[in-house]
């Protein structure tokens, strides 16, 4: 079971109407690995990333052909509990989305939806998630402050903590450092490296050096194909 790829693509074509984004793509993403997804603007990185958690479903014309497997389940054919999928696959965006509420409220937001019956555990879970996101020491004395008062880098780590609080096996990150200063970006890189012992991570980055520093594999989207960085199809 543990050798089974956590994410895989088999003969996958993704398109918006007639516009093909990926054609007959293959790929495997091993457990506890960090894969960086690179490619030119518009090559389809975000589309592919969102495909792994069915976040494109509502986009007009979006079509998936082939087999996209997540944790052993073909998520586009047959019954899928999207609620469970969203808990097991966390998506982190380029710009952290903060609710105009306290830091604490933001961390436990997902817990309220996914584990509402375990409310007594929320403070402990929030603390653990903030520690994993390397944010605890900076916010432990101000958990009731509004989250938007944090810096951009702190807000991105808070968004990651909110995702970690529900303990997803997979973390998908769409350019999580692009809106950050270099120091905050390095903090996110360190964080990604620290998380791979417990999570499988796919992250989109435009920066080749950043990908090299963090990733076990670097994949490139180009001309409707997905290739490893040395140009070979995977």
User: Using CA atoms, how far apart are residues 213 and 199, in angstroms rounded to an integer?
Assistant: 18
At 79 the three-state DSSP class reads coil
Nearest approach in angstroms of CB 35 to ligand ATP is 15
User: Using CA atoms, how far apart are residues 78 and 17, in angstroms rounded to an integer?
Assistant: 22
Q: Which of these ranges, 34-42, 96-104, 131-139, 224-232, lies near ligand ATP under the rule CB under 6 A?
A: 34-42
Question: Per CB under 6 A, does 45 bind ligand ATP?
Answer: yes
Question: Pattern 59-98, binding to ligand ATP, x per CB under 6 A?
Answer: x---------------------------------------
User: Using CA atoms, how far apart are residues 158 and 136, in angstroms rounded to an integer?
Assistant: 10
Nearest approach in angstroms of CB 23 to ligand ATP is 13
Q: Which of these ranges, 16-24, 120-128, 180-188, 226-234, lies near ligand ATP under the rule CB under 6 A?
A: 16-24
How do strand 7-16 and strand 19-29 relate by DSSP bridges? Answer: antiparallel
User: Using CA atoms, how far apart are residues 108 and 114, in angstroms rounded to an integer?
Assistant: 10
Question: Per CB under 6 A, does 208 bind ligand ATP?
Answer: no
Tokens of 118: 């375990």
Q: Whose Cβ is closer to ligand ATP: residue 14's or residue 139's?
A: 14
User: Using CA atoms, how far apart are residues 49 and 5, in angstroms rounded to an integer?
Assistant: 16
Question: Per CB under 6 A, does 16 bind ligand ATP?
Answer: yes
Interacting residues with ligand ATP (CB under 6 A): 16, 19, 21, 39, 41-47, 59
């Amino acid at each position: 079971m543990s050798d089974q790829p956590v994410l895989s693509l088999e003969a996958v074509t993704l398109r918006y109407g007639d516009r093909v984004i990926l054609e007959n793509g293959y790929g495997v993403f091993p457990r506890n690995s960090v894969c960086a997804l690179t490619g030119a603007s518009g090559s389809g990185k975000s589309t592919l990333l969102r495909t792994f958690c069915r976040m494109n479903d509502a986009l007009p014309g979006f079509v998936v052909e082939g087999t996209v497997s997540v944790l052993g389940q073909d998520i586009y054919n047959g019954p899928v509990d999207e609620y469970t999928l969203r808990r097991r696959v966390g998506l982190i965006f380029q710009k952290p989305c903060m609710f105009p509420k306290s830091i604490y409220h933001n961390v436990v937001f997902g817990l309220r939806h996914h584990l509402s019956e375990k409310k007594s555990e929320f403070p402990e879970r929030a603390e653990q998630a903030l520690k994993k996101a390397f944010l605890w020491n900076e916010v432990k004395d101000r958990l009731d402050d509004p989250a938007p008062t944090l810096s951009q880098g702190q807000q991105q780590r808070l968004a990651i903590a909110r995702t970690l609080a529900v303990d997803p096996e997979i973390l998908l990150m769409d350019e999580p450092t692009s809106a950050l200063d270099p120091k905050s970006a390095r903090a996110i890189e360190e964080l990604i490296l620290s998380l791979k012992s417990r999570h499988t991570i796919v992250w989109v980055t435009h920066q080749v050096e950043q990908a090299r520093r963090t990733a076990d594999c670097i994949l490139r989207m180009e001309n409707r194909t997905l290739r490893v960085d040395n140009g070979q199809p995977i």
